[in-house]
Amino acid sequence: MKKGDSSLRASDLKAGLDEVGMGSLAGPVCIAVTVFPKTKIPITGVTDSKKVSAKKRIVLAPRIVEEAVFVGVGWASSKIIDEWGLAEAWHRAALDALEGMPKVEMLWIDGEREVKGYEGKQTTVVKGDSLLWIIGAASIVAKVARDLTMHELSQSYRGFGWERNSGYGSKEHIARILKDGPCPQHRMTFLKKLFRKKGLTLKQ
């Protein structure tokens, strides 16, 4: 889901980056980056994806993609998260999302973590997805992309309720793990820590 416009200069462009799925027990982390002209009027309704209903996100995401100069999406699988740790997995997914992005004046990132290996200017903003609409746009794209992926995975790994909980630790999800054990899409490092904290036994 990427496109570019080489006619615009870096000084004309700004980019926002946000992620979804960091605290999930299963499935990948998804990072999106959205690039718009600095003069672009904010798209009405775009803000932190958690503050936007699922129905509205589905409407906004394609509009964001259509109106953006560039949209990139990067992924880090549960296996990568277990092997490399969440922080390193985040950097890998971020660099994947940024691949092919035109040069921009500034990359605005939600949170406190800068992207290792990105050579352009970057600034982190705590709660940036609520404060800057361009980061909010990235959060909506990432949220919709990941929710669709978790819904697809739920067809192959039934009973965990991923079509409803997106892999997060809902009662339904944890109860199924307790009953049948984890599947290949689960983050074992997360599960071991969670179950140890709760004093539960994790089936292997």
Strand partners, 32: 18, 73
DSSP characters for 150-176? HHHHHHHSTTS-HHHHTTS--HHHHHH
Contacts of 53 by beta carbon, 8 Å cutoff, 6+ apart: none
Q: What is the pTM of this model?
A: 0.94
- Domains of the chain by start residue, with CATH: 10-155 (3.30.420.10)
Tens digits of pLDDT across the chain (204 residues): 555 555 678 889 999 999 999 999 999 999 999 999 999 999 999 999 999 999 999 999 999 999 999 999 999 999 999 999 999 999 999 999 999 999 999 999 999 999 999 999 999 999 999 999 999 999 999 999 999 999 999 999 999 999 999 999 999 999 999 899 999 999 999 999 988 888 877 776
